Amino acid sequence: MRPLDGIVVLDLSTLLPGPMASLILAEAGAEVIKVERPGTGDEMRGYPPFQGGESLPFAMLNRGKQSLALDLKSPADRARLEPYLARADVLVEQFRPGVMARVGLDYGTLADRFPGLIYCSITGFGQSGPKAQVAGHDLNYIAETGLLALSMGPRDAPVVPPALIADIAGGAYPAVMNILLALQARARTGQGAHLDVSMTDNMFPLAWWALAQQQAAGPAPGNADGLLTGGTARYRLYPASDGQIVAAAPIEQRFWENFCAVLDLPEELRDDGRDPQATLAEASRIIRAKPGAYWRKAFEGVDCCCTLVATLAEALAEPHFRARGVMARRLALADGSVAHALPVPLSAALRSRPDDADRAPPLDGISG
């Protein structure tokens, strides 16, 4: 048995945060019923790339779920939702505050009838506060919380981060964590809960080092000048001569000493506390003088936390990840083709299911 076998989740969310959260719950055994708009469904169904006429991003996020097409503004469709509400242990939604109340599906209304319901609301700014009704996306959330300012590239050519940090680390993962804790509490008390998951609130733990520095020593680090954002020689992206990038993170002294030995850094610069910029400049010059292949071989087997930046294709071909089966799970598409399923952060011990391919739900794939 999987940990959530027997748990029923009604997922009214769209796009990324809620669907990723319910994907993880489904992988742990929950029955997930995805409620979508009639006709069009989740907006993610329209996002490329497509394979076999199906949105691959949608399929990756929604495999193993069921789908029910309902217009929540329609009294008749809300009546169709009733038997599912009666079965549900968890409800996930990510509308702006007040939207669910306008259709009679807010937590207060439902909790009176279903006191054990765990009701998880995922929003950008939370259920209360001056910005509760403000629209935004991931880039806005990391910008408004100071996280982006810590490392965004040169101001005349700023860089958009490679991951949707707020949606996943601030929305999906905290939602799963809170739902699991609420299920544990309900097992003792019989009571459900309203979980207020604010993606912006959850950005501040990601800036823990900068918050500590600001409180203890004055202003927080600026753009790319902190210990963990490229401000020192010990945590840095170094270009090699052929355009490849060395990712060097020899923060601890024992790793730093090994790093200096590989570079043959002059003795007077190995104490990087005396003249940090001189040490950084020389390390940069040395690494830039040789191609990436040279540094890959030079760092191989050396305990110094230094690697080359891999492309996604290179990472997928990496023997280590292949040996661990990171992308081994298969995703069946409507046309009969197969793709890689999206990995989820669950230990194999918690997702003891067969390896046959899941597929994304067809719209209104279960009867009303």
On the 0-12 / 13-18 / 19+ scale of CB atoms within 10 A, 156 is exposed
- Write the secondary structure of 276-333 as one string of H (helix), E (strand) and C (coil): HHHHHHHHHHHHHCCCHHHHHHHHCCCCCCEEECCCHHHHHHCHHHHHCCCCCCEEEC
pLDDT computed for residue 368 by the predictor: 38
* Burial (0-12, 13-18, 19+ Cβ within 10 Å), 348: exposed
Cα–Cα distance, 129 to 219 (Å, whole number): 26
Nearest to 304 by CA among 351, 246, 219, 227: 246
Catalytic residue among 89, 167, 201, 272: 167
d(CA 331, CA 352): 17
- For the question of residue 11 being annotated catalytic, the response is no
Which member of 71, 77, 137, 364 is catalytic? Answer: 137
Enumerate domains of the chain plus CATH numbers: 8-199+326-359 (3.40.50.10540), 236-316 (3.30.1540.10)
Nearest to 203 by CA among 96, 120, 95, 124: 124
Q: What is the pLDDT of residue 364?
A: 86
Please give the structure tokens belonging to residue 262. 């590989």
User: Which residue from 292, 281, 206, 207 is spatially nearest to 247, judged by alpha carbons?
Assistant: 292
The pLDDT value recorded for residue 355 is 59
194 catalytic residue (yes or no): no
The Cα–Cα gap between 131 and 115 comes to 29
On whether the CB atoms of residues 21 and 172 are closer than 8 A, the answer is yes
Token readout for 367 is 């009867």
Other Cβ atoms closer than 10 A to 214: 14
Question: In 66-172, where does DSSP find H-type helix?
Answer: 75-87, 99-102, 107-113, 138-144, 165
Task: Outline where DSSP puts E strands in the chain.
Answer: 8-11, 31-36, 50-51, 54-55, 66-69, 90-93, 118-123, 193-198, 236-239, 245-248, 306-308, 330-332, 338-340, 358-359
Tokens representing 131 are 């910005």
Q: What are the average pLDDT values for consecutive 10-residue runs of the chain, which has 368 residues?
A: 95 98 96 96 96 94 96 97 97 98 98 98 98 97 97 94 97 98 98 98 96 87 92 97 98 98 98 96 98 98 98 97 94 91 92 71 76
- Distance of alpha carbon 111 from alpha carbon 246, whole angstroms: 54
Beta bridge partners of 32: 9
Q: Could you tell me whether strands 306-308 and 236-239 are parallel, antiparallel, or unpaired per DSSP bridges?
A: unpaired
For 4, 162, 347, 349, the CA distances from 1, given in Å and listed in that order, are: 8, 36, 14, 10
pLDDT at 354: 56
Instruction: Measure the CA–CA gap between 178 and 180, rounded to whole angstroms.
Output: 5
339, β-bridge pairs: 331
ω into 49 cis (within 30 of 0): yes
